Structure 1
């Protein structure tokens, strides 16, 4: 996929995207995969980070007009879903997969219609750090399937973040990539960044 200096690349999601960005500074990219991608681009480009800790897909939909459409990005990358699963297990707050999928479909449609944006959709992931997290897959696996269906329906570029991290975990161990199972270490963020760059045609995925 070709990018130009005129492109505006916007990344949106939850804490995995946020990574401590300064929300008072629109140029702040945080300390995770978004910054790594920006630094790896072969030319200066406008990169925007709109991740917010704790957000689920309905939170993204609520701020889509201001945080995405108003900025007229030419490329939108979305990584969402793990909190939709997590809240079921720590707070008993459900995010039914059909409703999740419908919300994701609506926001991708708006990005296409209002911005003519090229879409990247990253799969949510989990590297269980405790035995009880293994049960989360009963909720997360169908959610990943919903993400893949929606991405395919929109012709989005799919980034299999989940598979890239699983492959890396075989070499490095899950705890080295995401100590709590959800939030990546710098090593984990590097895996995510390389997966995105490979999907964008800017390099093959490689071991961290």
Structure 2
């Protein structure tokens, strides 16, 4: 596995990462780490390779955009000095443009999104042993759906940032697309955004496969 023994892994993002984690920092004590993909990653690592002693912390905040992430980056990432960092952000950056079209001050356009993510990654990558960038997603198989089409553009922006900085890219959208050939989106997320437990396991599996975890 790419994550070295004894490493600390910080996972940051929006509600998909948050999942009711404890404040100020979600740690792997009881359910304090949340009840989503972060907890599943922690459970699988703990069950399959406990000798690796990988410490996982959850810093997701529901509703966050990349703009919000930038505002708390110093305290929630740099000050905590993780060995490895995983970032999943962008769903709200896109979603607010559709569910709150008149609140334009909440919208984060593609240019701002790309530039902000680039700035955060560029400032942080030299201090990390490893970096994982997970794409935003919309659990909708119709690629011509306007929200899905825009989400794909934001996902490609994440891919480009990952390539420029030698980060591991996790294509969450592709992971869901594979399953959507067999099941309806409602089986994975009632609102096509917030996953069921099965949806969170899809995310956990995609993350772990990207870091060469052996199942």
**Cα distance, 1:136 vs. partner?**
0.9
Partner of 1:83: 92
Structure 1 unmatched runs, 5+: none
Q: Which residue of 2 aligns with 1:168?
A: 179
Looking at structure 1, the residues matched to 161 and 2 of structure 2 have their Cα atoms a distance apart, in angstroms, of: 23
What is aligned with 2:12? 12
Query: Which residue matches 1:74?
Result: 83
Q: Aligned pair 1:48/2:57, yes or no?
A: yes
Superposition misfits of 4+ residues, deviation over 6 angstroms: none
1:147 aligns with 2:142: no
**Distance in structure 1 (CA, Å) of the matches to 2:189 and 2:147:** 16
Unaligned 5+ runs, structure 2: none
Q: Which residue in 2 is equivalent to 1:37?
A: 41
- Once the two structures are TM-superposed, the CA of residue 45 in structure 1 deviates from its matched residue by 1.7
SS in 2 for 1:171: coil
Q: Is the 8 A contact 2:14 2:89 kept in 1?
A: yes
Task: Number of aligned residue pairs: give it.
Answer: 201
- Paired with 2:166 and 2:2, the residues of 1 have a C-alpha distance of 16
Shift of residue 141, structure 1, vs aligned partner:
2.1
User: Secondary structure of 2:191's partner?
Assistant: coil
The residue number in structure 1 matching 2:23 is: 23
Are residues 1:65 and 2:74 paired? Answer: yes
Given candidates 173, 178, 195, the residue that maps to 2:189 is 178
Contact in 2 for aligned 1:82/1:140 (Cα 8 Å)? yes
TM-score normalised according to structure 1 size:
0.90
Displacement after TM superposition at 1:25 (Å)? 5.3
